[in-house]
C-alpha cells in the first residue's frame, strides 16, 4: 500500500483533525518550511505526535525546505492583478530576489503562485520592471516565482534551511524534501548537512520541478531515497500537455532503477472546496499507484481545504482500490 501524506496547515493542525486523518489512512504529513522554521511549527508537530499516540500509529514527518526555489517577498497586503493592466516588480513594487531583475527583459514571462498568475515583461532595467497581466488573480506574499526559459542558479540551501536541518533529528523529522533539485551535487550537499547534524537516519526526497532535474534524473536516482514528481512547478517549466509524458518517463526510470517515487500536486484539487473529488482526480490517483508510486501526497487539500479528513479518505481508498486491482492481475 502506498504511503498517504497530507500537508500541515491551518485546517488540520489540531490533534482531533490530525487523529481523524491518521485513522482515515494518512501515513504522515508534509510541513512546508518556505515561510517558517521548525521552531515556529513546534506546536503543530507536538499535535501530530499526540494524535499519532492516541490512535496507536507512528506518523511520518517530512519537511519541505526552501532550497533554490524563487519566491516574491512580503507584500503589505494581497495584491489583485487585473488582466490587461500592468504591475511593477522590484523597487516600489512586487519584491523579487536581486538575481531575478537582470532576467526581467521585454518578452520574458513571469509565472506566480504555481502558475496561477501569468505576466509578460514590457519594460525593464536597473531595479524595476513592468509587466502586463495576462492571467490575473490575487497575489499573496511569498508565493513562488518562475521565469520560463531563464536559467538561474540560487544556492542549494538557505541559511534557514541549514538551521532546520540542524534541528531535524530533535523534532523527529523522518524525511527531508529538497526542492528544485538540479544535479547530484544539490543532493550531496543536503545529505552532508543532515549527516553532520546527526540526521543520517533521515530519508532524502528529491523534488523534480525543473528541466534540469528531468535531464539529470539518472544521476539523481542513486543519490536520494525517493524521487518526488512535483507537478506544480514542473508544470510551469513546460507546456502542460507535456507534463503527463514527463511524469510517465520519470516513473518508468524509477521503476527500472528500483527507486521509490512520489506523485504530488493537485491530486484532489477540487476538494479544497468540494466534499467529493472529480472522476478525473480519482483516476489520477489510481493511475499514479498503477504506475508504481510508493507514495502520494495532498497539499492545499489538507492544509487550507475545507475537507481535510475526507480528502485523505478518498486518497487512501482510491490507492487501496488500485492495489487490489494490481493484485488481481
Residue carrying the nine cell digits 524521487: 227
Respond yes or no: is residue 50 known to be catalytic. Answer: no
Cα gap 179→83, rounded to integer Å = 30
Q: Which grid cell sits at 235?
A: 508544470
Given the C-alpha cell 507546456, which residue does it identify?
Answer: 239
Q: Considering the candidates 11, 19, 30, 231, report the single residue annotated as catalytic.
A: 30
Q: Which of 7, 156, 265, 318 is catalytic?
A: 265
In 21-66, beta strands by DSSP E:
28-32, 60-64
Residues pairing with 173 in the sheet: none
Contact present, 277 and 314 (Cβ < 8 Å): yes
User: How do 175-178 and 60-64 pair as beta strands?
Assistant: parallel
Q: Is 30 a catalytic residue?
A: yes
| 169, 190 contact by CB (below 8 A) | no
Catalytic residue among 71, 130, 142, 253: 71
Any catalytic annotation for residue 279? no
Helical residues (DSSP H) of the chain, grouped into ranges: 15-23, 42-54, 159-167, 184-196, 211-215, 217-220, 231-236, 243-257, 279-290, 300-303, 308-328
The catalytically annotated residue of 11, 19, 207, 313 is 207
3-state secondary structure of 31: strand
Instruction: Report how far apart, in Å, the C-alpha atoms of 106 and of each of 103, 117, 136, 282 are.
Output: 9, 18, 19, 41
Per the annotation, the verdict on 207 as an active-site residue is yes
Contact between residue 266 and residue 231 where contact means Cβ atoms under 8 Å apart = yes
- 3-state secondary structure at position 201: coil
Catalytic annotation, residues: 30, 71, 207, 265
Amino acid at each position: 500500500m502506498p504511503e498517504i501524506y497530507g500537508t500541515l496547515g491551518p485546517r488540520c493542525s489540531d490533534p482531533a483533525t490530525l487523529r481523524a486523518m491518521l485513522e482515515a489512512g494518512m501515513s504522515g504529513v508534509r510541513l512546508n518550511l518556505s515561510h517558517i522554521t521548525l521552531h515556529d511549527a513546534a506546536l503543530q508537530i507536538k499535535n501530530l505526535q499526540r494524535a499519532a499516540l492516541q490512535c496507536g500509529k507512528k506518523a511520518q514527518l517530512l519537511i519541505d525546505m526552501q532550497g533554490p526555489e524563487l519566491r516574491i517577498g512580503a507584500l503589505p497586503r494581497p495584491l489583485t492583478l487585473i488582466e490587461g493592466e500592468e504591475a511593477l516588480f522590484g523597487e516600489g513594487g512586487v519584491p523579487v530576489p536581486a538575481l531575478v531583475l537582470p532576467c526581467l527583459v521585454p518578452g520574458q514571462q513571469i509565472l506566480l503562485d504555481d502558475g496561477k498568475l501569468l505576466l509578460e515583461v514590457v519594460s525593464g532595467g536597473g531595479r524595476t520592471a513592468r509587466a502586463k497581466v495576462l492571467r490575473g488573480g490575487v497575489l499573496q506574499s511569498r508565493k513562488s516565482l518562475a521565469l520560463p526559459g531563464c536559467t538561474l542558479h540560487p544556492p542549494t540551501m538557505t541559511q534557514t534551511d541549514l538551521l532546520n536541518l540542524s534541528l531535524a533529528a530533535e523534532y523527529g523529522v523522518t524525511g527531508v524534501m529538497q526542492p528544485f533539485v538540479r544535479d547530484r551535487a544539490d543532493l550531496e550537499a543536503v545529505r552532508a548537512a543532515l549527516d553532520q547534524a546527526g540526521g543520517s537516519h533521515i530519508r532524502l526526497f528529491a523534488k523534480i520541478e525543473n528541466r534540469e532535474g528531468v535531464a539529470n534524473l539518472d544521476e539523481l536516482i542513486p543519490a536520494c531515497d525517493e524521487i518526488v514528481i512535483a507537478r506544480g512547478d514542473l508544470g510551469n517549466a513546460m507546456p502542460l500537455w507535456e507534463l503527463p509524458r514527463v511524469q510517465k518517463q520519470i516513473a518508468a526510470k524509477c521503476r527500472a532503477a528500483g527507486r521509490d517515487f512520489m506523485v504530488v500536486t493537485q491530486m484532489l484539487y477540487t476538494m479544497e472546496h468540494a466534499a467529493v473529488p472529480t472522476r478525473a482526480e480519482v483516476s489520477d490517483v489510481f493511475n499514479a499507484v498503477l504506475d508504481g508510486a510508493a507514495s502520494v501526497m495532498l497539499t492545499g487539500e489538507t492544509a487550507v481545504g475545507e475537507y481535510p479528513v475526507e480528502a485523505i479518505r478518498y486518497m487512501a481508498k482510491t490507492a487501496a482500490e488500485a492495489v487490489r486491482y494490481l493484485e488481481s492481475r
